[in-house]
Amino acid sequence: MVMPYLHFNGNCEEAFRFYADCFGGKVTFLSRLNNEPRNPVMHATVMLTEHGGLTGSDSDPPEPLPEKYEILVLFKTREEVESVFSKLSEGATDITPFAPHPPPDDAGGGAYLIDKYGYHWMLCV
């Protein structure tokens, strides 16, 4: 299983709980510096689907994001894409709603957005 490691600016827990809600997933691990509730998240894991999720932490200072990256999530149906997309697009920018893939790959489609935390998502069938 491959799980991207994301860095946040003090809002890792908020982001992972948001992602869990969007995907119907679950935050499965969260640790803080010295186990103090007000301290930054050292490591966290959110399972988005039964097959994968994300890991991450709060960075001090936050690391710059790479110029070209995307988190790709594959779904079985367009309805699943649109359901997650509608939740994940809260506060998002650069939103491209679901559209069929152009020929010759006309067997599916996808949607794209940059979420409110600055991460790029491709949701595809």
Please give the model's pTM, rounded to 2 decimal places. 0.87
In this prediction, residue 61 has a pLDDT band, given cuts at 50, 70 and 90, of low
Q: What's the fold here for domain 1-64?
A: 3.30.720
Name the residue ranges covered by the structural domains of the chain. 1-64, 66-125
The DSSP line for the chain is ----EEEESS-HHHHHHHHHHHHT-EEEEEEEGGG-TTSPEEEEEEEEETTEEEEEEE-SSPPPPPSS--EEEE-SSHHHHHHHHHHHTTT-EEEEEEEEPPTT--S-EEEEEE-TTS-EEEEE-
Q: pLDDT, tens digit, for every residue of 108-122?
A: 999 999 999 999 999
**Mean pLDDT, the chain, as a whole number?**
91
The single-letter code of the amino acid at 58 is D
Asked if residue 102 has pLDDT above 90, the reply is no
pLDDT band at residue 46 using 50, 70 and 90 as cut-offs: very high
Report, as an integer, the average pLDDT of 68-97: 94
Pick among 3.10.580.10, 2.70.170.10, 3.30.720.110, 3.90.1170.40: CATH of 66-125? 3.30.720.110
> Across the strands, what pairs with 55?
5, 45
CB 42 within 8 A of CB 31: yes
Domains 1-64 and 66-125 share a fold: yes
Per-residue pLDDT, 35? 86
